[in-house]
Amino acid sequence: MPTRRTNRTNGHHLEEAVAVLINNQAHFMSAVARIESELAEIRNILIHHQRILDGLPEAIREKIGFKAKGQA
């Protein structure tokens, strides 16, 4: 009898452990999805900032009235 009881107890603990593992995995995957979403937003912001920086030299030239050689 003690062997059967031990097996039942171990089986119950195993079921609980699997349930906890599944719950933790769900929370982890949710966090990963949130982080990936935030990373995508950051990438979009960086792309936007890069476009602004790429256009900055020309914008400064126009603002100060600089004309390249050969332009009237």
Residue pLDDT, tens place only, 32-55: 999 999 999 999 999 999 999 999
Would you place residue 66 in the very low, low, confident or very high pLDDT band (cuts 50, 70, 90)? confident
In a domain, 69, yes or no: no
pLDDT at 2 over 80: no
Question: pTM for the full model?
Answer: 0.63
pLDDT at 4 over 50: yes
Q: Please state the domain count of the chain.
A: 1
For the record, the structure tokens of 53 come out as 């920086």
Q: What range defines the domain where residue 39 resides?
A: 5-64
In a domain, 70, yes or no: no
In a domain, 72, yes or no: no
Q: Residue 70 — left, alpha, or beta (φ > 0 → left; ψ -120 to 50 → alpha)?
A: left
